[in-house]
């Protein structure tokens, strides 16, 4: 369950596929430069993680035994209130009954900023850790009546996650809600598959439906599979070879994007530009792995790229170690939610610069809030 190993396995498998299948599937071929860059990135993460961890990463991780039904209902209420307000507001742009057939229009409203998803009214919808709290409470609840209610909430929550036009948001929330189940059933593959497999199958179906709907049928299944898996490594290789034009003069402005997002409130001139990635030709996609951030900053400078990759890997390795140690030391809902966010960033890192964005910053902030709230809501001696 340690995030460094999970990331290493995911990236290694996809790198092998990108090297062996990428060119034959119409993607830019992998070269030594790309393989070495990715290898450096992964090994620095592993070194930092294993050297920094105070506890043996093979130590058995258990879920906290106590749970708070009241705290769970509080966040469930916040979530469904936000969902209701979200679709009420969205209805002014697209009638709700037409949404399933106009997903492209829905997505465009979001990406262009025409529909502001960051409204405070939608805060519950945006908090991915709510899924972790729901699943965690469901697993630990002993009262049959409450467990039935929570089981129903889990199902409804997952269905609501699927009713959205952006794949990355879906994956993020699904990882967060599945994390407690993975902890619970990690030693029982049969029980784990009973939960993960149906959700995975539904996601794959939704994924290809979205692919067809959002591209008007122009992107075939083979291209979609490659674009959102190993093809991201081939696209990264081309970005390394020809250089991807930087969009800022800020030092490591894309690699440590989240840092400038915070500093801009003190120093407005440090506001980073939006990271909008486009394809570099027919043999690439607009998906480039997390390493596109340092590639953007390097802008063709090999030395800059090596330094950026190493610093980026150190940051990621330390975050993994801190979240993992925090959970081993303080097995609480706050530490579990922080860990689930880090795990989500790991799972999405092969196609998205998740560790450059604000996910971790907000996760730390919300874990502090959760620590405070548990003292207000808990009746157990230890949460």
DSSP assignments along 46-114, one per residue? HHHHHHH-SS-TTSPP---S---HHHHHHHHHHHHHHHHHHHHHHTTTS-GGGGGG-HHHHHHHHHTTS
Alpha-carbon gap, residue 250 to 246, rounded angstroms = 10
Output DSSP code: residue 199.
Answer: H
| pLDDT band at residue 65 under the 50/70/90 scheme | low
Token pair for 310: 């190493």
Mean pLDDT of 226-235: 91
**What would the mean pLDDT of 3-15 be, rounded to a whole number?**
94
pLDDT at 63 over 80: no
Highest mean predicted confidence (pLDDT) among 89-98, 244-253, 312-321: 312-321
Under the banding of pLDDT at 50, 70 and 90, the label for residue 206 is confident
**Range with lowest mean pLDDT among 127-136, 209-218, 276-285:** 209-218
pTM of the model: 0.88
Mean pLDDT, the chain, whole residue set: 87
Question: What is the CA 319 to chain-centroid distance, rounded?
Answer: 14
Confidence check: pLDDT of 383 > 50? no
Cα(39)–Cα(37) distance, rounded to whole angstroms? 5
Q: If we measure between CA atoms, which residue out of 257, 233, 245, 235 comes closest to residue 298?
A: 245
Q: Is the pLDDT of residue 218 over 80?
A: no
* Local confidence band at 381 (pLDDT 50, 70, 90 cut-offs): very low
For 88, counting Cβ atoms within 10 Å of its Cβ (0-12 exposed, 13-18 middle, 19+ buried), the class is exposed
Q: CB of 262 within 8 A of CB of 361?
A: yes
Of residues 57 and 75, more confidence is placed in 75
């Amino acid at each position: 369950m340690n995030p460094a190993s999970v990331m290493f396995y995911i990236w290694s498998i996809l790198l092998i596929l990108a090297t062996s299948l990428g060119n034959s599937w119409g993607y830019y071929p992998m070269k030594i430069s790309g393989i070495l860059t990715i290898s450096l990135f992964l090994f620095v993460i592993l070194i930092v993680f294993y050297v920094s961890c105070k506890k043996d990463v093979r130590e058995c991780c258990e879920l906290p035994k106590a749970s708070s039904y009241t705290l769970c209902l509080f966040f469930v209420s916040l979530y469904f209130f936000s969902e209701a307000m979200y679709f009420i507001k969205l209805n002014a742009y697209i009638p709700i009954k037409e949404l399933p057939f106009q997903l492209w229009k829905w997505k465009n409203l979001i990406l262009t900023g025409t529909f502001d998803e960051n409204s405070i009214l939608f805060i519950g919808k945006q908090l991915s850790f709510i899924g972790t709290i729901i699943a965690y409470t469901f697993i630990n609840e002993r009262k049959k009546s409450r467990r039935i209610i929570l089981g129903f909430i889990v199902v409804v929550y997952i269905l609501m996650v699927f009713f959205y036009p952006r794949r990355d948001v879906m994956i993020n929330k699904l990882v967060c809600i599945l994390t407690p189940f993975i902890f619970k059933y990690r030693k029982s593959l049969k029980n784990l598959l009973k939960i993960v497999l149906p959700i995975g199958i539904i996601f794959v179906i939704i994924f290809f439906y979205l692919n067809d709907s959002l591209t008007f049928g122009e992107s075939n299944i083979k291209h979609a599979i490659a674009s959102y898996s190993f093809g991201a490594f081939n696209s990264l290789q081309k970005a390394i070879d020809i250089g991807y034009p930087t969009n800022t003069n800020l030092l490591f402005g894309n690699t440590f994007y989240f840092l400038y997002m915070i500093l801009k409130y003190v120093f407005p001139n440090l506001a980073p530009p939006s990271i909008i990635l486009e394809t570099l030709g027919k043999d690439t996609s607009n998906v480039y792995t997390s390493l596109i951030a340092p590639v953007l900053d390097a802008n063709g400078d090999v030395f800059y790229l090596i330094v950026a990759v190493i610093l980026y890997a150190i940051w990621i390795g330390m975050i993994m170690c801190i979240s993992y140690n925090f959970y081993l030391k303080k097995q609480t809902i706050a530490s579990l939610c922080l860990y689930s966010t880090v795990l989500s960033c790991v799972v999405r890192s092969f196609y998205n610069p998740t560790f450059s964005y604000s996910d971790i910053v907000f996760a730390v902030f919300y874990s502090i809030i959760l620590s405070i709230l548990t003292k207000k809501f808990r009746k157990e001696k230890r949460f």
